[in-house]
Amino acid sequence: MGSDKITSANYLGMSFVKFAYANLISTNRILAKVNFMNTIQLIGLTAGMLTTIAFLPQVLKTWKSRSAKDLSLGMFSLFCLGVVLWLAYGILVRDIPVIAANLLTLMLASTLLFFKLRFKN
């Protein structure tokens, strides 16, 4: 009967070890997934930042020269519409990099569109 208690204790101890190990593996997988998602979001935010900042030199040049004659009204109109749709998509799927990048891009591209309509030369 004494050996039965040891066997039961061993079984309970081994069950606990298996349970703890399974939870540790599961926790590590969750943490790896979180770190991976943070890396993906960082890539998305960086890409959005770079493509958005790319408009800044054109906005500044157009503002200083007060001339938007070389800008295509059709291209910037379609581009702004596309960015509005990307922004709507980002909001619907709750994707922060898509929302942030397209909100800033829309502001800069809309500024150029405004300049194109305002500066007639």
Measure the CA–CA gap between 75 and 54, rounded to whole angstroms.
16
DSSP 8-state secondary structure symbol assigned to residue 121: -
Asked if residues 116 and 66 have their Cβ atoms less than 8 Å apart, the reply is no
Q: Where are the domains of the chain?
A: 2-118
CB 52 within 8 A of CB 105: yes
Q: What is the fold, at CATH topology level, of the domain defined by 2-118?
A: Monooxygenase (1.20.1280)
Q: How does residue 16 score in pLDDT terms, banded at 50, 70 and 90?
A: low
Report the percentage of the chain scoring pLDDT > 90. Answer: 23
- Label residue 101 exposed, middle or buried (CB < 10 Å: 0-12, 13-18, 19+): buried
Which of 33-42, 49-58, 78-87, 88-97 shows the lowest mean pLDDT across its residues?
33-42
Average pLDDT over residues 24-37: 60
pLDDT tens for 64-103 read 998 888 888 899 899 999 999 999 999 999 988 889 889 9
